[in-house]
Amino acid sequence: MVDVAMVGAGQTPYGTHPAAMKDMWAEAVRDCFASIDGDLAPSSVEEVFLGSTAFGGGQLGNTAAYLAEHAGMAGVPARRIENACASSGFALRDGWAAIASGRADVVVVGGVEKMNDLTPERKRFWLGVSGDTEWERLAGLTFPGTYALMARRHMHEHGSTHDDLVHISVKNHAHALDNPHAHLRKDVSFEKAAGGMVIADPLTLYDCCPTSDGAACVVLASADVARKLTDTPVWMRGSGAAADHLALHDRPSLTTLAATRSAASQAYAQSGIVAGDLDLAEVHDCFTVAELLATEDLGLTDVGQGGRFARNGEGRRNEGRTTVNGSGGLKAKGHPLGATGAGQAVEVFKQLRGQAGPRQVRDAELGLTHNVGGSGATCAVHVFGRSQE
Amino acid sequence: MNLADIEAGVAVHHASNGVIVASRFHMGEARVHAPDADDLTMAIDALEAWHRQGHSGSVSIELSEEERPILTASLPWLTLDEAGSHVVHRFDHGAAVLGRSASFDASGIMVNSDARILVDSEKHTSMQEAWALELSEQNVSQGAYVSDQVHVLGLEARLGMQAQAGPMWPPRGSNADGSLPHEGEAIPLVARVVSWTRLIAAGCPSEFSIRAPVLGGLTSLLVTFDHGPSGVFLHADGHHADVDIDDEVRLVVRRVYAQDGTLRYGRKALLL
């Protein structure tokens, strides 16, 4: 297999963006190509892998060709990859595979979502389309509901508490204060987060990520090309992906995401590391309980200890072994569904190159991205390193 | 006739030759349907109450073209026969009687005051208006579109709890080895709560956006069946029930939502 590296990465701010979807994507692509040390034009890439749910349906068909054209890549083979919130995590995997297999030398991977230009009713429809419509959604469940079921069960089985979830919320909001691209840059106290309005009992407003507009883009290159473009590539050391039952009720456990465990296991094995080696992890905290479960499923703490891990602040930037969601995570950086996985890679790119400014993780050598689709039906995990091996 | 016993969410009186069921919901002295019940669900409640006593056989009941597939899918053990040994009578204001007589005077059916659930008249009216709005041909649901064909194909699993061998429920297209799943038995209607949540109205799926504000949200329960699969069900009758993990529930037939001018029914959960 050919070794693969990220040579450029960029994104728009996340939040309520004044631009249309195509212009957000073009902005992220410009930001990405500007970060490449050597000369590379968008038109010279060989493939485009774009993650998006095409939220709102405004350009549901041929989304990737439409967006590639608007970002200076007309004529480049492009496709949209849809796996709900894990769309660009899987786009990243497909881009990696294209280069690792020797089929391409330079590809663009990214994601985009425009969510905040819809009426509330239309937004609620699109937010629910990635669950099991017939057997889950029509039993009243949205994603806050499915994650609330997981949270309550984890509390029952392992004694975690809502306060543990509050610690995650407070941490990620604090991390986002140092991220100029974050959607929610505000200090949230423990008391405020603990007293949030209930959305899906036991989850409150401060347990839920916002719906964000945003786009993110990275350029992947084969080892030979990467070395020509930069002296500081970020190496993709491992790629894992897995799927699980779509509906929560079909899974044997509510307190673990089997897809995360499988994808992480693949990525760790390929990269030759264990969870304890990681300096930072950008994990999929669409709800605070999702981060709690991720810390267990990724092996950052033991099964049933996610609550303690959060309570002890072990994921705080530069305090524990591994900084968890140093960007603010989905909770505070924001969650533009199809862009989230690529945005996680952008953050790791900056961290491993020492370009993360005030949110820099000290001596960051190894980073991980964890991107989940829906309530865990799909998951992509990637391990990145400053060194090639 | 004063009904004091409660079974599966309705007041019940068992007699040697049949059963009487009545809604527990009352607006003052007037008996009304539960928020997601109607004449059809009341008839199904009566037939299920009768069946729980070990009865089965042929029954006569007047049904519309739309109602027939819902009732037959819900009660796969039932034989419909115009000359059946028993007749189901449905009445306005939440009562149904299964008996041997061709007629029945329902005026004497009362629900014991201890068994009643009092409802606010304004809220009851709002719920009726919400259903009417949801049902109107002009209403275009902002919700997920489950086509009529897909909905009908799932009726036996959704209402009759028909499983595939394993048991496997809801049904699948293929087994892991690629083979066609064999038909299994129906899943029992009693299950145990694994987890539950209550969503505020603004967080509910958009299919429920008209009624959820009236109910103040929706309660969903993930339950597991003995020796079998699990499923998610709405709490029936819009109860603001206190649910606990490991509680037992019974699944009953209720209205779920309306789409394209048609009511769609499914199983919902009631605490035992």
Angle value at C-alpha A60, between A58 and A64, nearest 5 degrees = 110
Q: Is B118 exposed, middle or buried (0-12, 13-18, 19+ CB in 10 A)?
A: exposed
Contact B222 A247 (CB under 8 A): no
Mean pLDDT of B28-55: 95
Asked, for residue A136, whether it belongs to a domain, the answer is: no
Mean pLDDT of B121-142: 87
Contact B204 A142 (CB under 8 A): yes
Asked, for residue A126, whether it belongs to a domain, the answer is: no
Q: Same structural domain for residues A229 and A278?
A: no
Q: Is A288 exposed, middle or buried (0-12, 13-18, 19+ CB in 10 A)?
A: buried
In this predicted structure, the answer to whether residue B141 has a pLDDT above a threshold of 70 is: no
CA torsion through residues A295, A301, A303, A309, sign: negative
Mean pLDDT of B157-179: 93
CA pair distance A197, B50, nearest whole angstrom: 44
- Give the pLDDT confidence score for residue B76 in this predicted structure: 94
CA pair distance B15, B86, nearest whole angstrom: 13
| Neighbour count for residue B149 (Cβ, 10 Å) | 8
CA pair distance B81, B58, nearest whole angstrom: 6
CA pair distance A342, A91, nearest whole angstrom: 8
| A154 bridge partner residues | none
Q: Which residues of chain A have pLDDT under 50?
A: none
Q: Say which of A85, A208, A217, A286 is annotated catalytic.
A: A85
Q: Which of A85, A159, A81 is nearest to A370 (CA)?
A: A85
Q: Is B181 exposed, middle or buried (0-12, 13-18, 19+ CB in 10 A)?
A: middle
Question: CA of B20 to nearest chain A CA: how many angstroms apart?
Answer: 29
Task: Give the number of domains in chain A.
Answer: 2
- Give the pLDDT confidence score for residue B241 in this predicted structure: 67
- Give the pLDDT confidence score for residue B238 in this predicted structure: 74
CA torsion through residues A31, A36, A37, A42, sign: negative
Instruction: Mark out the alpha helices in B146-227 (DSSP H runs).
Output: 148-153, 155-159, 212-215
In this predicted structure, the answer to whether residue B86 has a pLDDT above a threshold of 90 is: yes
**For A122, which of B142, B144, B231 is closest by C-beta distance?**
B142
- Count of alpha carbons within 13 angstroms of residue A60, beta-carbon side: 4
CA pair distance A347, A324, nearest whole angstrom: 12
Which residues, 6+ apart, have CB-to-CB distance to A42 below 8 Å?
A29, A33, A71, A72, A73, A76, A108
In this predicted structure, the answer to whether residue B227 has a pLDDT above a threshold of 80 is: no
Chain A residues bordering chain B (beta-carbon distance below 8 Å):
121-122, 124-125, 128-129, 133-142, 144-145, 148-150, 152-153, 156, 197-203, 247-250, 254
**For B194, which of A125, A134, A254 is closest by C-beta distance?**
A254
Question: CA of A123 to nearest chain B CA: how many angstroms apart?
Answer: 9
Q: Same structural domain for residues B153 and B99?
A: no
Q: Same structural domain for residues A239 and A308?
A: yes
**For B195, which of A134, A139, A152 is closest by C-beta distance?**
A152
**pLDDT-based confidence at B132, cuts 50/70/90?**
very high
Sort strands B183-186 and B162-164 into parallel, antiparallel or unpaired. antiparallel
Q: Same structural domain for residues B153 and B114?
A: no
Q: Same structural domain for residues B18 and B115?
A: yes
Provide the token pair at A157.
């089985």
Q: Which is higher by pLDDT, A386 or B202?
A: A386
CA pair distance A236, A95, nearest whole angstrom: 11
- Give the pLDDT confidence score for residue B35 in this predicted structure: 94
Q: Which is higher by pLDDT, B177 or A122?
A: B177
Contact B206 A128 (CB under 8 A): yes
Q: Same structural domain for residues B186 and B237?
A: yes
CA pair distance A29, A73, nearest whole angstrom: 10
Asked, for residue A132, whether it belongs to a domain, the answer is: no
Q: Same structural domain for residues A32 and A103?
A: yes
Residue A265: enclosing H or E segment and its boundaries?
A: helix A258-271
The answer to whether A307 and A255 are in contact (CB under 8 A) is: no
Q: Is A7 exposed, middle or buried (0-12, 13-18, 19+ CB in 10 A)?
A: buried
Question: CA of B207 to nearest chain A CA: how many angstroms apart?
Answer: 8
Range scoring the smallest mean pLDDT among B112-116, B141-145, B156-160: B141-145
CA pair distance B55, A154, nearest whole angstrom: 42
- Give the pLDDT confidence score for residue B202 in this predicted structure: 81
Instruction: Mark out the alpha helices in chain B (DSSP H runs).
Output: 39-52, 67-74, 121-135, 148-153, 155-159, 212-215
Q: Same structural domain for residues B171 and B254?
A: yes
CA pair distance B206, B165, nearest whole angstrom: 34
Asked, for residue A288, whether it belongs to a domain, the answer is: yes
Asked, for residue B126, whether it belongs to a domain, the answer is: no
- Give the model confidence (pLDDT) of A294-323 as tens digits: 999 999 999 999 999 999 999 999 999 999
Asked, for residue B131, whether it belongs to a domain, the answer is: no
SS3 A309: helix
Mean pLDDT of chain B: 92
Choosing among B145, B162, B197, B223, which should be mutated to test the A contact, i.e. which has the most A CBs within 10 A?
B197
CA pair distance A146, B205, nearest whole angstrom: 12
The whole domain housing A8 covers 4-119+212-234
Provide the token pair at A159.
């004694």
- Give the distance from CA A133 to its chain's centroid: 24
The whole domain housing B165 covers 148-271
**pLDDT-based confidence at B104, cuts 50/70/90?**
confident
**A85 assigned to active site:** yes
Contact B150 A249 (CB under 8 A): no
Asked, for residue B138, whether it belongs to a domain, the answer is: no
Choosing among A119, A122, A124, which should be mutated to test the B contact, i.e. which has the most B CBs within 10 A?
A124
Mean pLDDT of B143-148: 79
CA pair distance A183, A14, nearest whole angstrom: 5
Q: Same structural domain for residues A298 and A374?
A: yes
**A335 assigned to active site:** yes
Q: Same structural domain for residues A229 and A240?
A: no
- Give the pLDDT confidence score for residue A63 in this predicted structure: 96
Q: What is the CATH number of the domain that holds A162?
A: 3.40.47.10
Residues of B in contact with A144 (CB under 8 A): 199, 203
Residue A168: enclosing H or E segment and its boundaries?
A: helix A162-176
**pLDDT-based confidence at B142, cuts 50/70/90?**
low
In this predicted structure, the answer to whether residue B143 has a pLDDT above a threshold of 90 is: no
Contact A133 B144 (CB under 8 A): yes
| ipTM reported for the complex, 2 dp | 0.94
CA pair distance A16, A13, nearest whole angstrom: 9
Q: Say which of A335, A370, A379, A382 is annotated catalytic.
A: A335
Asked, for residue B140, whether it belongs to a domain, the answer is: no
3-class SS letters over A117-132: CCCHHHHHHHHCCCCC
In this predicted structure, the answer to whether residue B172 has a pLDDT above a threshold of 80 is: yes
Q: Which is higher by pLDDT, B144 or A307?
A: A307
**For B245, which of A145, A156, A201 is closest by C-beta distance?**
A156
Task: Give the number of domains in chain B.
Answer: 2
CA pair distance A159, A46, nearest whole angstrom: 51
